[in-house]
Structure 1
Amino acid sequence: MIHPTALVDPSASLAEDVEVGPFCVIGPDVTVGPGSVIGPHVVIKGPTVLGARTRIFQFASVGENCQDKKYAGEPTRLVLGDDNVIREGVTLHRGTVQDRGETTIGSRNLFMAYVHVGHDCVIGDDCILANQVTLAGHVHLGHFAILGGLSAVHQFCHFGEHAMAGGGSIITKDTPAFIMINGNPAQAHGLNAVGLKRRGFDRETIKALTDSYKLIYRQGLTVDQALATMRQRYDLDAVERFAASIECSTRGIIR
């Protein structure tokens, strides 16, 4: 299951059925879960934990030292959940002690070719990052986030659950949950209604979120006024999550 040209450190922990392709380098303090397949010419540096059924394609670099100039070799970590797909040339960096000390990635995410995930990022489950998406350090992505190709996210930005960014978006502020954005600089372009329908949100919830979006973006209200109004109108979990994604913003929301 391990190609004879691969270099695997004796202290690395690989499940019995892990496949490792030609010319891979797997360093110490690396754990790879069962059912995983590591393609040729992949480099994995620890401390890194890869969950079950991880699929890594050729020339990816996983768990490398981060590019933050403050990083001084501390033993920070990269931790991934299960069923992640990491395509060609992807770079996933470990954390820094100045933040969480860990870059954390959930399960069932797709990282298309040449995606970069910087230090201390937190990525939820079921996200799609298209080709050449770049996340600076300290970025947080909610569950089911979708970033179109060549999008870039500024450090410390939060990108909400079920939100979607069109290709080439330059994202320098926080993106509320459930909305669509696009452009340079990115601007809001409505609710991600099609995505919500595909994920099983019912008509009542989508209508309430659409109305809540209009309160924030179309009615000329202050953010506080809009939040108070939507909470008075709707006692729905999704509306509360939308409101909370706005309230937690530290960089201001995309308008």
Structure 2
Amino acid sequence: MSIAASARIHASAIVEDGAVIGANVVIGPFSVIGPQVSLGDGVTVKSHVVISGRTEIGLDSVIFPFASIGEIPQDLKFAGEETQLIIGARCRIREHVTINTGTDGGGGVTRVGDDCLIMAGAHVAHDAQVGNRVIIVNSSAVAGHCIIEDDVIIGGLSGIHQFVRIGEGAIIGAVTMVTHDVIPHALVQAPRGELDGLNLVGLKRKGVSRADITALRAAFQMLKQGEGAFQDRARRLSDETDSAYVRKMVDFILADSDRGFLTPS
């Protein structure tokens, strides 16, 4: 066990032998920290939190009451192998959130990036790869093996199917089931997840230039109305654009996909 001298641990909390507790960590009453857990400097664990498994939590992150972090996957194929959960810096993990470790079949690591907000009752399953500055709103679930790129927002009460990829800057509306990959900067809504345009508000808030937004809108129209299959339209785009944002969208579409794509209606 390694506990920094500046850490503050409530008398009713349990920190098991082997845990690594960084400087200025605060652990609240009745929380349990497992023997393979590492808490970075400045982490706050509020009351009644359970952090178990081989779990690392980055500096200045805050875990709110009744969260369960690092428990074994909800996967019947899991056979007790040692896998991992890595959570980045400055994350806010709210009440009743559950995040599981990985599985051998999925690479062995569940990962959450920096500056994420995971709101009350949300779930991140085994082997999911969540980028930076992602917001997962209340009672939403990210299934196993999903890839959620940077700056994605997932609305409340939504579900992301196993192996789905959601591209950078996309926004998923509330009460939406997403069963296919979502291109970067997309707007998805409706109960069964329809690709309904671009996340123009998010692009403007990020400070993307007017020229790049115009290029993305033109690219979306070509993907929607052009000739040939979806991937064929994307290949033509790669030859016709100078926008780095459009090229990133094209690269996403032409990469391997286990689920296919939501396409414009």
- Taking structure 2 as the reference length, the TM-score comes to 0.94
The Cα offsets for residues 182-233 of structure 1, whole Å up to 9 and x where unpaired, read as: 1221011101111011011100001101111111123454223321332232
Q: 2:244 is aligned with what amino acid?
A: D
What is residue 260 of structure 2 aligned with on the other side?
Answer: 252
Q: Distance in 1 between matches of 2:148 and 2:195?
A: 17
Query: Structure 2, unaligned stretches of length 5 or more?
Result: 1-7
What is residue 231 of structure 2 aligned with on the other side?
Answer: 224
What is residue 5 of structure 2 aligned with on the other side?
Answer: none
What is residue 243 of structure 2 aligned with on the other side?
Answer: 236
1:179 has 2:183 as partner: no
What is residue 101 of structure 1 aligned with on the other side?
Answer: 108
The Cα offsets for residues 35-71 of structure 1, whole Å up to 9 and x where unpaired, read as: 1110100000020000000100000000001110011
What SS class does the counterpart of residue 214 from structure 1 fall into? helix
Say if 1:215 and 1:221, in contact at 8 Å, map to a contact too: no
Q: Distance in 2 between matches of 1:36 and 1:47?
A: 17
What is residue 39 of structure 1 aligned with on the other side?
Answer: 46
Identity across the alignment (%): 37
Q: 1:190 is aligned with what amino acid?
A: G
What is residue 214 of structure 1 aligned with on the other side?
Answer: 221
What SS class does the counterpart of residue 223 from structure 2 fall into? helix
Say if 2:118 and 2:135, in contact at 8 Å, map to a contact too: yes
The Cα offsets for residues 69-103 of structure 1, whole Å up to 9 and x where unpaired, read as: 01111110000110100000000000001111010
1:89 has 2:96 as partner: yes
Greater shift after overlay, 146-155 or 233-242?
233-242
Say if 2:53 and 2:72, in contact at 8 Å, map to a contact too: no
Aligned equivalent of 2:132, options 125, 128, 142: 125
Q: Distance in 2 between matches of 1:2 and 1:175?
A: 43
The Cα offsets for residues 109-130 of structure 1, whole Å up to 9 and x where unpaired, read as: 0000001000000000000000
1:20 has 2:30 as partner: no
Alignment length (residue pairs): 255
What is residue 8 of structure 1 aligned with on the other side?
Answer: 15
What SS class does the counterpart of residue 78 from structure 1 fall into? strand
- Alpha-carbon spacing, 1:158–1:224, altered in 2? closer, same or farther (3 Å): closer
What is residue 156 of structure 1 aligned with on the other side?
Answer: 163
Query: Structure 1, unaligned stretches of length 5 or more?
Result: none
Q: Distance in 1 between matches of 2:247 and 2:222?
A: 14
Q: Distance in 2 between matches of 1:235 and 1:118?
A: 37
Say if 1:145 and 1:159, in contact at 8 Å, map to a contact too: yes
What SS class does the counterpart of residue 105 from structure 2 fall into? coil
Say if 1:86 and 1:112, in contact at 8 Å, map to a contact too: yes
Q: Distance in 2 between matches of 1:158 and 1:231?
A: 20
Q: Distance in 1 between matches of 2:232 and 2:148?
A: 26
What is residue 203 of structure 2 aligned with on the other side?
Answer: 196
